[in-house]
Amino acid sequence: MKEPVKKVISAILGLVLAAVNYYMGTLLDNFTGIFIVFFMNLIIGMTVLKVTKNYIYHLMITVCENIFLVWMNLFIILFRPAIFIGYEGILIFLAATVAMNMPCWIKIYLGQKNQLSDIYLKYLTGFFTVAYLILLGNLLFVSGRYGAASRQVSLIPFKTIVSYLQSIFYSKNYVAIVNIVGNIVLFVPIGFVFSLYIKNRLLNFMILFMVPICIEILQFIMASGVTDIDDVILNIFGEMIGALLFWLLIFLQGKITGKVSNDKRTVSEA
């Protein structure tokens, strides 16, 4: 199959996935939709890598399946700030992006790098960072603003978390589940990306600790939500998960690289 045909197919596949992701992720009343989005994109990502053996097609599919969601959020930020965008939209973005590109990341971290992999990582990181910040910014500071009436402050640790857990336990409250999981999952990428670019671990953890606090202060100033210490706790927990995932990957990559080097040395000596 010729390269232009593959590119067209990748773009069409990305657009189709955009519609399917949105449908499956938002119309179900629990996290089943998000899990379906994740595993569906994972299977497609593995298939595309197997057929094309080219990382760039995953980049094209990722951009095509998320560009409408990103553009819609940017449009809302600029022109329709009263429209509410919930956690589901950004969770769909995270699930689809991670799952689609996971096979490529694993292959690259196993040592199968080339010139295309460097280009792929560079542009995917750029797109992901910009898209993620637009989606998160809309969710935290723009959507659902209620004016001065929303300047509420809760400084009692675990008060909100306990109420959410009670609501989940006694009434299976979906909104409470989304709030807890969303506040954790949405900040995992921040912990991962900051750990990628900030090599000093102490400085990295200090910044990660301050980010949620600054966000809550800004939300209070902008009257864009309740300023809650429990949000800070959940956000920091999510960031720590992201940081630990990054260092775990670095550790595993070092183990794999060392094993490959030892195997090559053994072969050469033999």
Quote the pLDDT of residue 179: 82
What are the pLDDT digits (tens) for 9-18?
999 999 999 9
Residue 198 has pLDDT above 50, yes or no: yes
DSSP label at residue 150:
G
Tokens 């921040």 -> residue? 190
Q: CA-based angle 202:190:66, to the nearest 5?
A: 160
Long-range contacts of 215-220 (CB under 8 A, 24+ apart): 215/140, 218/140, 218/141, 219/140, 219/141, 220/151, 220/153
First to last CA, the chain: 42
Separation of alpha carbons 161 and 86, rounded Å: 19
Closest CA to 33 of 21, 42, 41: 21
Q: Which amino acid is at 38?
A: F
Quote the pLDDT of residue 37: 92
Detail the DSSP E strand segments found in the chain: 153-154, 227-228
What are the pLDDT digits (tens) for 76-115?
888 876 666 677 788 889 999 999 999 998 888 777 788 8
Provide the percentage of residues in the chain whose pLDDT is more than 90.
38
Quote the pLDDT of residue 267: 47
Mean pLDDT, residues 32-44 taken together: 91
User: Any idea which of 157-161, 174-178, 242-246 has the lowest mean pLDDT?
Assistant: 174-178
Q: What is the mean pLDDT of the chain?
A: 84
Query: How far is C-alpha 233 from the geometric centre of its chain's CA atoms?
Result: 19
Separation of alpha carbons 118 and 249, rounded Å: 18
The CA–CA distances, whole Å, from 263 to 22, 111, 145, 251 equal 46, 14, 59, 18
What are the pLDDT digits (tens) for 133-175?
999 888 888 865 544 445 677 888 888 888 888 888 877 777 7
Would you say 230 and 161 are in contact if contact means Cβ atoms under 8 Å apart?
A: yes
What lies within 8 Å, CB to CB, of 73 at 6+ separation is 85, 89, 134, 135, 138
Quote the pLDDT of residue 138: 86
The CA–CA distances, whole Å, from 48 to 30, 84, 103, 181 equal 29, 35, 10, 30
Quote the pLDDT of residue 170: 79
Separation of alpha carbons 212 and 215, rounded Å: 5
Mean pLDDT, residues 38-66 taken together: 93
